Structures are given as structure tokens and as C-alpha cells.
């Protein structure tokens, strides 16, 4: 099965509202008819404004996290309904910064992921190991646990019908300039696909887009997505200027059309 390639930008806590609109406009103009999926994940405050800008463009919108609660007294939180009313299609769940800085546990991530799926938002589930875990040869067992716990209680049919995206983001590669080698990333992506196949179904394994994240740039995107199980990238720092993000998109498209 040929899976569509996706280049997603996680802006994290960067850009003012005005800067976000300018960046979006530049990307719309640069990619009127992209040969890969482009997803922007700006801060919450930008979602509605950006959704109006991209209405007639193929660019899609995602959020960086969300609450597992439906509504109520949860000061500062944002619900799935709120994201849908801002025309979000995607939501990043379990980013390592949420896990490490805000102490999100696999159980929280599982609840958020379940809530997103029940609300027809496509979760981009992030998993990844620390450098210490990698050095101790624990990478695959850590990732297996994050996958198992993150996807707990979800049926194969639900996942097939609603679609999930999984992003492998080794923590030691995030914001460090130290990218995983294409072989390291491919090994993990193949492991994730095998996990989906053995725990759910081959159909789910074949249809699920697996993204790599961690110091992705124009210089390394091509070698990464040439690998059979890497279906795109979740980009942090290099998604913050139109020039650097466009260069990654163009690099990915060149590889696809080669």
C-alpha cells in the first residue's frame, strides 16, 4: 500500500499571532498544490485565525495537545470540541515535552488519544527514548511500552476507521541538531509497524503513517524518507520559517517523484 507522505510542523510555544499568520500565508503561496500532506500545529491562540487562511488551501491544521476531559472546571485546558470548532483535523498527543515537563503519563496519553479518536480528530502519537535508554539498549522495550499503553483499549476497527499517525521522536534528537541516522530511524519504524501488525492487524500496520521527528532539516529529510517505513516528518525548529519548512517539503516531494 502506498501511504501518503506527511510533513507536519510543530511550532511549540513560538511565534506571535501576527507572525503565525505571516508564516502560514507564505506557506500557502509556496505550496498551492503539494504532493505531500502539510500539517501546521501552531499554538492554540492561532488556530482559528489560521483555519480561515487555509480554508481553500490543501494545508491542514493540528493542535499540540488537548485535554481528555469533555468540558468543565479545568482552568487553562482546551477540549476536543474546541479544537474541532477551530477546524483542527489533527492533534499531537504525548509529545516528549508534555511527558517530561508536564508529567503526562502513558495513562493520560491513552485517555487523550481515546478522546481524540472518539471526536474524529486524528492523533499524532509521539513516542521516543532518552539517550540513556538508548545507550542501555532499552529503546525498543521503552517504545513497545509507550505503544501498548498509549493504544490500550482501542480496537482495530476503531483505529482503522479513524486513522492514527505515530511519530518516532528520539528525545536525544529533539532540538539538539543530532538527527537519528536513517538506519536507526528505519529500524524503529519497522519495529512500530510490526507492533501494529502483531497487536492489531496488517491492514492497520500498512495504512498508518509513521513520522520521524528530531532535528529534521532540508539536508537530512531525503535520506530519511527514502526509507520504506518512514512516511514523513514532524518538524520543530525548522518549521518556524517559511524558507526552512518549504525546503523540507520540497526535499520530501523531490524524493517521492524521483
Q: Which three cell numbers stand for residue 115?
A: 478522546
Residue nearer to ligand 13P on the CB measure, 34 or 62:
62
The footprint of ligand 13P (CB under 6 A) covers 10, 95, 169, 174-175, 213-216, 234-238
- Choosing from 95, 97, 104, 133, which is the catalytic residue? 95
* Whether 17 contacts 45, CB under 8 Å: yes
The distance of closest approach from Cβ of residue 91 to ligand 13P in the complex, given in angstroms and rounded to an integer, is: 13
The distance of closest approach from Cβ of residue 237 to ligand 13P in the complex, given in angstroms and rounded to an integer, is: 3
- Choosing from 37, 104, 133, 169, which is the catalytic residue? 169
Residue nearer to ligand 13P on the CB measure, 43 or 203:
43
What SS3 state is found at 163?
coil
Cβ-Cβ contacts under 8 Å for 115 (sequence gap 6 or more)? 66, 67, 68, 70, 80
The distance of closest approach from Cβ of residue 70 to ligand 13P in the complex, given in angstroms and rounded to an integer, is: 26
End-to-end CA distance of the chain: 18
Residue nearer to ligand 13P on the CB measure, 145 or 176:
176
The distance of closest approach from Cβ of residue 33 to ligand 13P in the complex, given in angstroms and rounded to an integer, is: 25
Active site residue 95: yes
Which run of H or of E encompasses 125? strand 122-127
Residue nearer to ligand 13P on the CB measure, 174 or 185:
174
Distances (CA, A) of 64 to 90, 190, 215, 225: 9, 25, 18, 23
Q: Where are the alpha helices (DSSP H) in the chain?
A: 17-30, 47-53, 80-85, 96-101, 106-118, 131-135, 139-150, 156-162, 182-199, 202-207, 218-225, 242-257
Annotated catalytic sites, by residue?
A: 95, 169
Amino acid at each position: 500500500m502506498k501511504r501518503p507522505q506527511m510533513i507536519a510542523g510543530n511550532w511549540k510555544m513560538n511565534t506571535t499571532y501576527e507572525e503565525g499568520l505571516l508564516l502560514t500565508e507564505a506557506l500557502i503561496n509556496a505550496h498551492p498544490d503539494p504532493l505531500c500532506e502539510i500539517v501546521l500545529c501552531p499554538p492554540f491562540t492561532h488556530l482559528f485565525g489560521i483555519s480561515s487562511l487555509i480554508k481553500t488551501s490543501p494545508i491542514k491544521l493540528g493542535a499540540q495537545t488537548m485535554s481528555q476531559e469533555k468540558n468543565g472546571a479545568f482552568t487553562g485546558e482546551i477540549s476536543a470540541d474546541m479544537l474541532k470548532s477551530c477546524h483542527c483535523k489533527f492533534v499531537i498527543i504525548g509529545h516528549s515535552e508534555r511527558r517530561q515537563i508536564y508529567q503526562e503519563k502513558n495513562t493520560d496519553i491513552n485517555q487523550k488519544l481515546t478522546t481524540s479518536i472518539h471526536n474524529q480528530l486524528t492523533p499524532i502519537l509521539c513516542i521516543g527514548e532518552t539517550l540513556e535508554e538508548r545507550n542501555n539498549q532499552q529503546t525498543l522495550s521503552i517504545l513497545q511500552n509507550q505503544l501498548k499503553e498509549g493504544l490500550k483499549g482501542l480496537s482495530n476497527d476503531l483505529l482503522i476507521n479513524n486513522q492514527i499517525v505515530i511519530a518516532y521522536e528520539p528525545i536525544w534528537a529533539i532540538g539538539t541538531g543530532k538527527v537519528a541516522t536513517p538506519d536507526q530511524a528505519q529500524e524503529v519504524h519497522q519495529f512500530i509497524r510490526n507492533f501494529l501488525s502483531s497487536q492489531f492487524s496488517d491492514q492497520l500496520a500498512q495504512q498508518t503513517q509513521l513520522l520521524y521527528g528530531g532535528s529534521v532539516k532540508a539536508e537530512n529529510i531525503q535520506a530519511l524518507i527514502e526509507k520504506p517505513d518512514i512516511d514523513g516528518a514532524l518538524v520543530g525548529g525548522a518549521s518556524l520559517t517559511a524558507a526552512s519548512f518549504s525546503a523540507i517539503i520540497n526535499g520530501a516531494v523531490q524524493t517521492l517523484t524521483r
